[in-house]
Structure 1
Amino acid sequence: MSAPNSLLIVGCGDVGSRLGQRMADAGWRVLGMRRNVAALPAGIEPVAGDLHADPCPADWPRQPLGYLVYCVAATQHDEAGYRAAYVDGLRRTLGWLALYGQRPRRILFASSSGVYGQQEGEWIDEDSPAEAQSYSALIMREAERVALDSGLPATAVRLTGLYGPGRQWLLSQVRAGYRVSETPPLYGNRIHVDDAAGLLATLLQADAAGTPLADLYLGVDDEPAALHEVVAWLRERLGVSHWSDEQRVRRAGSKRCSNARARALGWAPQYPSYREGYAAMLQDA
């Protein structure tokens, strides 16, 4: 049995907190699990817990749960850190659900578009082969399978490059004279953190309303763009005229992700391209 409008967000960090606030504002009961619960915003009930520890957190809810969103970020960026965060942590979470006989109506697993290895600027969607061979891609696909094979309804959401308040890496690189090759173009995909939270909220509300969900969605804005175009646009708005020989990007994956499946559910990004998203960041700054 589950309480349909209750939600536990495991890994309630930046995106998770934005999601939690949206759902709380919509009248849902929202619980957020993280180590430092003092960082949770108002409206999210704290669950202090460590995914790297075996004992079930003392604050784990005992009542039925309607939904679970697994939205963690690895704190250690190596193979062991990724496995601990995404595979082992998810298995522990599923074990804690089983411990209290909780069967959420659906699990949402926040994954990554890094599972795709396309390099020629191809357009891809949820049916495209995901065959990247980096340790992070292999582990993320393994974690997706853990969720999808859990015996509970589950959906993986492959988010593209997150940006927004507090995520200043590209802006810092542009200010430093960052260079990127124009030929061949290096296509990148991104989604503003508010839109990532909005997509997860759309999926939860659609499922609660009885709309059938697919087992996979891509989280991306409307306009994947060549990185040199993004850099040129930011240089103009930041007033950067110098170039650095040391700030370069080596060619890696290059693909263009489609959000058609997510849009078919009624979701639309508040920031349809990098222009709107970065303009809002620069205005706030």
Structure 2
Amino acid sequence: MPKLTLRALASSIAGLIALAALPATARAVPEPRAPEEFVALRDIAPSILQEMRYPTAHNFVGEPVDGYHRPMCILTRPAALALRQAQQRLLARGYTLKVYDCYRPQRAVDHFVAWAEDLRDQSMKDEFYPRVDKTRLFEDGYIAEKSGHSRGSTVDLTIVRLPVRPTRPYHPGEPLRSCYAPQRERFPDNSIDMGTGFDCFDTLSHTADPRITGEQRANRLLLKKTLEAVGFENLPEEWWHFTHQPELFPDTYFDFPVERRSLTP
């Protein structure tokens, strides 16, 4: 073998050894950044409440979800501006919006998929899917490998009556209460009564389920009509799920983490 090749090989080996010796932070691939069309909702509509569930353990997975580095709502600018319009309409009526989830990184969706495939993990069943067998989560459409949230124009939200009542934090390991139980029996949430809690894997969460009547139905319709008036479309299977139309990125599933530094300064 020519000496030059031997020297090149030795140099490559030395380079690999030097790279392995670097701290993990020095070797890490930089995180992807959001396109400039993405904004923090708090910068656009600071009066909208944010109770971001997936950076916490109070969700159907039972632990903080991958990619949620901070409890903040990120959306495309048109979606955020439309939410500001909806908020102004509700404030005039004595209400405020509250968001549970906004942009969702693809790695978070992957976390959901891995959790759904682990049939041994049933830790949050009693609250979020009491009547659904975990083997059916994909077939019934509760979990999928792609989510519209990752495109940046979809939001999960509810309505809270003013003045806002504080709610206590969730304590991991506490007794769980069914998401479709009467409101006074569910985990405390300052939302007006929508008939189920957020992320309730049950047909009762279908926006127009005929079993939801009276005040609960009126509350769902208030949310739906208010958001439709500013350009959102509801997902019929989830009263809390709305997508602003037209989407800026209808075919792109982003994976930048949820944190301030993902956004363009």
TM-score (norm 2): 0.24
TM-score (norm 1): 0.23
More relative contact order in 1 or in 2 (CA 8 Å, sep 6+)? 2
Higher gyration radius (CA):
2
User: Counting strand residues as a fraction of each chain, which structure ranks higher?
Assistant: 1
